[in-house]
Structure 1
């Protein structure tokens, strides 16, 4: 009887652990914001070392400016540390900031090294006549 109870307990714990691992990671959760209704930043391994970073920014109302201030791509080095290998900003990349819009979808592709680990640090932005807000965050580590 004890063996049966122990097996059921072990199976239950294993199932719970697997379910926790299967829950998708939310990269940018906006819990309380006067400007943002929804944001999401997703890195995609596109094969051959190519990395696509997509961002969906939705404001609560039409903004004078809304979008992405920056994406910074960090690559794991042979010693285990991470180094910034590419930064895209609204100053040097067209289409990052939309004017007089409620939403902005931004996508960039970086040629990385296949098999290396990366993560993306980002700054999302919204501005209207009452002020502005910038959300900072980073994605989980992913493999190119």
Structure 2
């Protein structure tokens, strides 16, 4: 079992894409995460969210600079290309998220007008992870900007 959590700032807004035969919602995004022991360096780490989580991220946490706490699983897969060469993929797949910062002084309301209670209620609706079932090569994993890993 994996437990991975990062806290960082969203580098830019993202769009929901619907992929595959079942039109699964997907968002790719990047967080800027300062290093723990060297505050002058920052890592830029990419994540993917699928299904309802992707739609919730787009709705509640899609502002540049928004501080997010992301819990995720590192998933790997491989897929041969037309020439028979195997390409390996690794993705940080979001399992949970929480918003931090970007709050006004009026009771935990974000700049977009969303309260912590709104986000918590929406996340409670997502009890089951809504990822597609089947072969791991059926997952639509690529780099966020269309390049294969």
TM class by smaller structure: under 0.3
The normalised TM-score by structure 1 is: 0.27
More strand by share: 1
Q: Which has the higher contact order (CA 8 A, sep 6+)?
A: 1
TM-score, normalized by length of structure 2? Answer: 0.26
Rg comparison, structure with higher value = 1
